[in-house]
Amino acid sequence: MQPKHRGQWATNLGFILAAAGSAVGLGNIWKFPGKVGENGGAAFIIVYLAIVLILGYTVMLTELTVGRATQKNTVGAFRQLDRRFTWIGVLGVITGFFVLSYYSVVGGWVMKYIVTYLTGGDFGLSHEGYFNQFIAKIGEPVGWHLLFMAIVVLVVLKGVSGGIEKVGKVFMPALFLFLILIAIRSLTLDGAQEGIRFLLRPDFSSLGVKGFAAALGQAFFSLSLGMGVMCTYGSYLPKNENLSKSALIICGLDSLVALISAAAIIPAVFSTGADLGMGSGFAFISLPGIFEKMPAGYFFGLLFFIMLFFAALTSAISILEGTVAFISEEFRIKRATAAIASAAAMALAGIGYSLASGAVNLRAPWFDFVNGWHMISLATWMELLTDNLLMPLGGLAFCIFAGWMWGVKNAVAEVEQGGKFKFYLKTMFSVSLKYICPAAIVIILFFTVGLGIG
Ligand code: PFF
Domains and CATH numbers, the chain: 12-451 (1.10.4160)
22 lines ligand 1 (CB under 6 A): yes
- Dist. CA 212 → ligand 1 center (Å): 19
Task: Kindly state the DSSP code that residue 277 receives in the 8-state scheme.
Answer: -
- What pLDDT shows up at residue 147? 98
- Dist. CA 83 → ligand 1 center (Å): 27
- What pLDDT shows up at residue 379? 86
- Dist. CA 193 → ligand 1 center (Å): 31
What are the distances in angstroms from CA 358 to CA 93, 281, 282?
A: 27, 12, 16
218 lines ligand 1 (CB under 6 A): no
- Dist. CA 333 → ligand 1 center (Å): 26
Which of 52, 318, 398 is the pocket-test mutation for ligand 1 (most atoms within 8 Å of CB)? 318
- Dist. CA 273 → ligand 1 center (Å): 31
Residue 241: alpha-carbon gap to chain centroid: 24
Indicate which residue's Cα is closest to atom 9 of ligand 1: 224
Task: Round the CA-based radius of gyration of the chain to a whole number and report it.
Answer: 21
What are the distances in angstroms from CA 374 to CA 98, 197, 367, 377?
A: 20, 40, 6, 10
- Dist. CA 253 → ligand 1 center (Å): 14
Q: How many whole angstroms separate alpha carbon 61 and alpha carbon 231? A: 9
- What pLDDT shows up at residue 326? 96
- Dist. CA 184 → ligand 1 center (Å): 26
234 lines ligand 1 (CB under 6 A): no
Reference 22, options 223, 174, 160, 322; nearest CA is 223
- What pLDDT shows up at residue 212? 86
318 lines ligand 1 (CB under 6 A): yes
What is the mean pLDDT for each group of 10 consecutive residues in the chain (454 residues)? Answer: 71 94 93 87 95 95 97 96 95 96 96 95 87 93 98 93 86 88 87 88 84 88 95 95 96 96 87 65 82 85 92 95 96 95 97 90 85 87 86 94 96 93 95 95 82 59
Which of 99, 225, 313 is the pocket-test mutation for ligand 1 (most atoms within 8 Å of CB)? 99
- Sequence-distant (≥ 6) Cβ neighbours of residue 439 within 8 angstroms: none
- What pLDDT shows up at residue 1? 43
Give CA angle at 65 (60, 66), nearest 5°. Answer: 105
Q: How many whole angstroms separate alpha carbon 247 and alpha carbon 261? A: 21
74 lines ligand 1 (CB under 6 A): no
Task: Kindly state the DSSP code that residue 83 receives in the 8-state scheme.
Answer: G
What are the distances in angstroms from CA 417 to CA 105, 323, 421?
A: 41, 27, 9
229 lines ligand 1 (CB under 6 A): yes
221 lines ligand 1 (CB under 6 A): yes
- What pLDDT shows up at residue 371? 81
Are the C-beta atoms of residues 318 and 233 closer than 8 Å to each other? Answer: yes
Backbone φ and ψ for 15, nearest 5 degrees, come out as -65, -50
Give CA angle at 23 (20, 27), nearest 5°. Answer: 140
Max CA separation in the chain (angstroms): 62
Say how many Å lie between the first and final Cα of the chain, rounded.
44
Are the C-beta atoms of residues 206 and 40 closer than 8 Å to each other? Answer: yes
- What pLDDT shows up at residue 242? 95
Which of 106, 319, 388 is the pocket-test mutation for ligand 1 (most atoms within 8 Å of CB)? 319
- What pLDDT shows up at residue 24? 94
Residue 363, helix vs strand vs coil: strand
Reference 41, options 338, 354, 266; nearest CA is 266
pTM for this model (two decimals):
0.93
Q: How many C-beta neighbours within 10 Å does residue 340 have? A: 16
319 lines ligand 1 (CB under 6 A): yes
- Dist. CA 319 → ligand 1 center (Å): 7
